[in-house]
Amino acid sequence: MKKISETDLAKIVNDRTMIDYLDRLRMLATSLFTWKGLDDVAGTGASRFLEQSLYENGRACFVKDDELGFLALKVNPSDKLNVYNLPTKVMAWSIGYNKQYNFDDVVYIMNNELEKPTMQSLELFAMRLYETERTIDVNLQAQKTPILIEGDTKTILTLKNVYMQYSGNTPFIFGNKQFDISNKLNVLKTDAPYLIDKLDAHKHQIFNDALTILGIDNANTDKKERLITNEVESNEQLVTYYLNCWYKTRKKACDEINKKFFNGENKIEIVLNKDVMDLLNKTENDIINNRGDNNGEIYDYN
């Protein structure tokens, strides 16, 4: 088995950290809404597939195929646009399916008014989280090994082996008389500052900004001090506006589906997964109960 170099190992950890943060944010983004009843009329997995399509492509569609029945599919505009910049024809597609429809024969579903994929924004947040997380890792390693080792070219391999034992938490490092360590190397301290607490706070702020974009309340997720009422209310307003950006286009599409294909009967509903959001936003007891002095009004979520 080929030995992994430190450079290759760092690249692997870099890639996995980036992917991990992107997957975490994706799971949150695609768990906000459920298309209640959609799986019943369009097949098992339709609701999940629709949210994934909106996340990746910013648009999707609901169609009635002559042979397969109702389907929730990915979609691309086809042919020219009308005066309102909406397509006159669309190409509905998925694995093993590709069919053109007139725009009026489908329900065109937008992720938001700009038809922007959620993924584009969250990739930026994932990148920032990855950079901060890996900086924390480097800073932590620097606390354990805040040194530079200087030696001659003849002993470089020995010095690397000694350092690997040191960085690998070996409690004792043994040498022999032939390797006079005092004459072979110099150790220079770098005195790396401890920044983990500041970086961790920065990381949580980035994550909270991502939650705000998704419409998930986060005013109380990191603060254990008292929360001022207007500070929380201001954040709640912004969260509500963002949440509405995702919700209103889905609600409009849901109403159009019921009107166009089910004679106005509410066969399909768009449901905000409030239980998930409540779990994400549990207020810690010490935030509510620890009232301290009276420099400001405490915001009580209860």
Q: Which residues contact 205 (CB under 8 A, 6 or more apart)?
A: 222
Q: Does residue 233 or residue 55 have the better pLDDT?
A: 55
pLDDT of residue 75: 98
Q: To the nearest whole number, what is the mean pLDDT of the chain? A: 83
In this predicted structure, the answer to whether residue 206 has a pLDDT above a threshold of 70 is yes
Percent of the chain with pLDDT over 90: 59
96: number of Cβ within 10 Å: 5
Distances, alpha carbon 163 to alpha carbons 12, 150, 182, 185, in Å? 21, 11, 15, 12
pLDDT tens-digit readout, 243-267: 999 999 999 999 999 999 999 999 9
3-state SS class at 117: coil
pLDDT of residue 224: 43
Distance of CA 249 to the CA centre of its chain: 21
Amino acid at 52: Q
Query: Cβ distance 222 to 204 under 8 Å?
Result: yes
pLDDT tens-digit readout, 142-151: 887 656 666 6
Radius of gyration (C-alpha) of the chain in whole angstroms: 28
Query: Cβ distance 264 to 258 under 8 Å?
Result: yes
pLDDT of residue 159: 67
pLDDT band at 300 (very low <50, low <70, confident <90, very high): very low
Tokens of 261: 């294909």
Which runs of consecutive H residues, i.e. helices, occur in the chain? 6-29, 38-42, 46-57, 118-144, 156-167, 181-184, 196-214, 229-261, 274-280, 285-289
| DSSP state string for 246-286 | HHHHHHHHHHHHHHHHSTT----EEEE-HHHHHHHTPPPHH
pLDDT tens-digit readout, 122-176: 999 999 999 999 999 989 988 876 566 666 666 666 766 766 665 554 555 555 5
Angle between helices 46-57 and 118-144 (to 10 degrees): 80
pLDDT of residue 68: 96
In this predicted structure, the answer to whether residue 32 has a pLDDT above a threshold of 90 is yes
pLDDT tens-digit readout, 45-63: 999 999 999 999 999 999 9
